[in-house]
Amino acid sequence: MNILVTGAAGFIGYHVCKELLSQGHRVVGIDNLNDYYEVGLKYARLSELGIAEAGQLEYGSTTQSNSLNHFSFIKLHIEDRELLPEVFKKEAFEVVCNLAAQAGVRYSIENPETYIDSNVVGFLNILESCRHFGVKHLVYASSSSVYGLNEEIPFSTSHKTDTPISLYAASKKSNELMAHTYSHLYGFCTTGLRFFTVYGPWGRPDMALFLFTKAILEKKPIQVFNHGNMSRDFTYIEDISKGVNNIIHEDTHARATAKEWYKLYNIGNSSPVALKEFIAAIEQSLGVKAIQEMKPMQAGDVASTWADVSGLQKDYHYTPNTPVKEGIEKFIAWYKDYYQVS
């Protein structure tokens, strides 16, 4: 298939591109390469996909991979209402996987405008382009943060999600509502995925595993929020990318015939881990004890997450099977190699 992956230089986007390319698909990647976190890491991910000197790329132009015949990349904002539709018109995508978004719960409190630009205006631009240029299936990233103040666990897509506690969460909930509207009005398939705390090699530097590993190796204290009384449904990146791949391979003709235009799923590990256990696993893998600095709960955060993934298991044979200790060891091996830490 001919597939667009937005956010291709991001953590999940990079791994999804790799998975799709391994299946023989033609993939076009889009990313604006913003500096929300260490932009060199985004360049390095693209380098792994054969896009050299990403820092020198011209905005809006297509660069062919020098190592992967079926991959090309365009530096582009998804909210660009002139150039994005031109890409859709030229490429005639069958499937779009929208992973581009301004990420981060706490950053949304400090920089709300950025989230509206990327996560709302940008997503509308994706939907409009899908509508006008015959895309059969849009798979897009939502987030477990939409559950907000919901106290029922495990989190189920049947639960109400009308109490978000960050603008990031509200922007992701808006994506689900917008997708439903477009599926209903224009009859193309959309599948929303509520991601639960994804981690692994090439991960984001603002996430806990990255922050903890860096601080522990540098013998600096780690900040442990809510005094460690938290748990997360940590999900290993390869389980995520394989799950996304399964969804993209769905028979959209059969789904369209059944008029199952709109679907929504949790995608997690369905096995929450206490924060204290998570830290202990990092310490064990590094062979170094953490200096822990206990902090109160942060604004916009929640005490626990736990995904009910039964829908994804039933419909797409989704089987996350990477234990957290194994995933942490793989991340730390990558971290030491990437940053040349002995």
Which pLDDT tens digit goes with each residue over 220-260?
999 999 999 999 999 999 999 999 999 999 888 888 888 89
Please report how the helices 39-48 and 11-22 are oriented relative to each other, as an axis angle in degrees rounded to 10: 0
Please report how the helices 122-132 and 83-91 are oriented relative to each other, as an axis angle in degrees rounded to 10: 30
For residue 200, the model assigns a pLDDT of 98
DSSP code per residue over 237-277: HHHHHHHHHHHHTS-HHHHHHTT--EEEEEES-S--EEHHH
For residue 76, the model assigns a pLDDT of 98
Point out the residues of the chain with pLDDT beneath 70: none
Tens digit of each residue's pLDDT (9 = 90 or more) over 41-75: 999 999 999 999 999 999 999 999 999 999 999 99
Question: How much is the pTM?
Answer: 0.95
State the fold for domain 2-198+235-269+306-321.
Rossmann fold (3.40.50)
For residue 257, the model assigns a pLDDT of 86
Place of tokens 């900040």: 223
Secondary structure E strands in 32-159: 62-64, 71-75, 95-98, 137-143
Active site members: 168
Task: Report the distance separating Cα 151 and Cα 171, nearest Å.
Answer: 21
For residue 110, the model assigns a pLDDT of 84
The domain spans of the chain are: 2-198+235-269+306-321
For residue 300, the model assigns a pLDDT of 73
For residue 100, the model assigns a pLDDT of 97
Task: Report the distance separating Cα 47 and Cα 57, nearest Å.
Answer: 12
Task: Report the distance separating Cα 106 and Cα 103, nearest Å.
Answer: 9
